Structure 1
Amino acid sequence: MSKDYVTEYAKKVVSGKILASKKNVKACQRHLDDLKSTDLPYHFDVEKADHVIKFLQMLPDPKTGKIMKLAGFQKFIVGSLNGWYNKEGNKRFTKAYISMSRKNGKTLIVSGLALYELLMGKDPINERLVGLSANSRDQASIAYDMTYAQLSSIRRVSPKIKGITKITPSAKEIEKVNDRSKVKAVSNEASNLEGHQFSYAIIDEYHEAKDKKIYETLRRGQVLLHNPSLIIISTAGTNMNGPMYEEYQYIDKVLSGNAENDNYFIFCAEQDKEEEIYDPDNWIKSNPLMEISELKKLLVKNIQPEVKTALDSGSGLNGILIKNFNMWRQASEESYLDFNDWKKNEEDFDIAGTKVYIGLDLSRADDLTSISFVHLNETNKQYYVTSHSFVGTKGGLQGKIERDLIDYYQLAKDGYCTITDLSSGIINTDQVLDYIESYVSKNNLDVQAICYDPYAIHGVLAEMERRGWYYDLHEIRQGPATLSNPTLDFKLKVIDGDVKHEKNPLLDRAVKNAIAKDTNDSIMIEKKMHREKIDPLMSTLFAYVIAYEHGWDDEEVSMPIFI
Structure 2
Amino acid sequence: MIYDYVDKVLSGEILASKKVILACERFKNDLENPDFPYFFDEERANKVIQFMGELPDPKTFKTYPIADFQEFIVGNLYGWYRKDEPNVRRFHKAMISVARKNGKSLLISGIALYEFLFGKNPAYSRQIFCTANAKDQAKIVFKMVEKRLSALKSRDEWVNSATKVYRHGEIVNLEDYSYIRPLSRDTGSVDGFEPYLGILDEYAASKTIEMMELLESGQGLLDNPLITIISTAGFDLNAPMHTVEYPYATKILKGEIEDDSYFAFIAEQDSIEEVEDESTWIKSNPLLSVESQEERIKGYLRKRKKEGQEKGTYNSVLVKNFNMWRQAEEDSYMDIETWNNAEIEPQDIDGKKVWFGVDVGRTSDLFAISWMVPFDGYWYADSFAFVGTKYGLDAKIKSDRLDYRRLETQGECEITTLESGVIDTERVYDWLNNFVAEHNLDVQAICFDPAQYGPLLTLIEKNHPEWEQIQIRQGTLTLSMPTKQFRDDVMERRVLHPHNEILSAAVNNAVTKTDNNGMRIDKNKYANKIDELDALLDCYAVCFTTDIDNFVTDDDILGGDFGF
What TM-score bracket applies, with the shorter chain setting the length?
A: over 0.9
Residues 1:508 and 2:536 aligned together: no
1:473-502 per-residue CA deviation (whole Å, 9 max, x = no partner) reads 221121111111111111111112111112
Contact (CA 8 Å) 1:7, 1:31: kept in 2 or not? no
Q: Say which SS state the counterpart of residue 154 (structure 2) adopts.
A: helix
133 and 455 in structure 1: CA distance in 2 versus 1, 3 angstrom threshold: same
Q: 1:17 aligns with which of 7, 13, 19?
A: 13
Give the distance between the partners of 1:69 and 1:421, measured in 2 at CA. Answer: 58
How far, CA to CA, are the matches of 2:54 and 2:455 in structure 1? 75
Compute the TM-score of the two structures, normalised by the length of structure 2.
0.93
Deviations 1:359-406 (A, max 9, x none): 1112341231111111112x21x2111222222333444443344333
Q: How does 1:511-530 map to 2 (within 5 A)?
A: 511-520=507-516, 522-530=518-526
1:359 corresponds to which letter in structure 2? G
Superposed displacement of residue 46, structure 1: 0.8
Q: Which residue is 1:371 aligned to? A: 369
Normalized against structure 1, the TM-score is what?
0.93
Q: Which residue of 2 aligns with 1:353?
A: 351
Change (3 A) 1:25 1:231: same
- Indicate the residue corresponding to 2:554 in structure 1: none
Aligned CA RMSD, in angstroms, stands at: 1.9
Q: Counterparts in 2 of 1:179-258, with a 5 A limit?
A: 179-189=176-186, 191-193=188-190, 195-245=192-242, 246-258=244-256
1:448 aligns with 2:444: yes
123, 126, 133: which is aligned to 1:125?
123
Which of 47, 51, 57 is matched with 1:55 structurally? 51
The code of the aligned residue for 2:239 comes to G
After the TM superposition, which residues 468-483 of structure 1 pair with which residues of structure 2 at under 5 Å, given as runs? Answer: 468-483=464-479
The equivalent of 1:77 in structure 2 is: 73
* 1:65 aligns with one of 38, 55, 61: 61
2:31 is aligned with what amino acid?
A: L
Distance 1:61 1:364, change over 3 A: closer
* SS of corresponding position for 1:328: coil
Give 3-state SS (helix, strand or coil) of 2:152's partner.
Answer: helix
Q: Which residue of 2 aligns with 1:299?
A: 297
| Number of the residue aligned with 2:404 | 408
**1:394 alignment partner in structure 2:** 390
Separation of aligned partners in 2, 1:67 and 1:407: 44
Equivalents in 1 of 2:359, 2:144: separation in Å? 53
Per the TM alignment, residue 244 of structure 1 is displaced from its structure 2 partner at its CA by 1.2
Question: Which residue of structure 2 aligns with residue 417 of structure 1?
Answer: 413
CA distance in 2, matches of 1:364, 1:10: 54
Q: Distance in 1 between matches of 2:145 and 2:270?
A: 33
Which residue is 2:325 aligned to?
328
Q: Deviations over 1:312-333 (max 9, x none)?
A: 55x2111011111001111222
Distance change (3 Å), C-alpha of 1:259 and 1:116: same
2:165 counterpart SS class:
strand
Q: Amino acid of the residue matched to residue 224 of structure 1?
A: L
- The structure-2 alpha-carbon separation of the partners of 1:455 and 1:28, relative to structure 1 and needing over 3 Å to count, comes to same
Question: In structure 1, how many angstroms separate the alpha carbons of the residues matched to 2:192 and 2:113?
Answer: 22
Q: Which SS does the other structure have where 1:157 is aligned?
A: coil
Q: Which blocks of at least 5 consecutive residues in structure 1 are unaligned?
A: 556-563
Which of 167, 174, 177 lines up with 1:177 in the alignment? 174
SS at match of 1:171: coil
- Letter aligned with residue 186 of structure 2: E
Distance in 1 between residues matched to 2:548 and 2:160, nearest whole Å: 79
Q: 438-447 or 74-83: which moved more? A: 438-447
In 2, distance between residues paired with 1:135 and 1:419?
A: 27
8 Å CA contact 2:99, 2:322 repeated in 1: yes
Q: CA deviation at 1:469?
A: 2.0
Q: Deviations over 1:31-71 (max 9, x none)?
A: 11111112221111111101011111111111122112211
Identity value in percent: 42
Quote the offset at 1:422 in angstroms: 4.3
Farther off after superposition, 510-519 or 276-285: 510-519
SS in 1 for 2:237: coil
Runs (5+) with no aligned partner, structure 2: 552-564
The range that moved more, 155-164 or 392-401, is: 392-401
Map of 1:436 onto structure 2 = 432
CA shift, 1:412, in A, is: 2.6
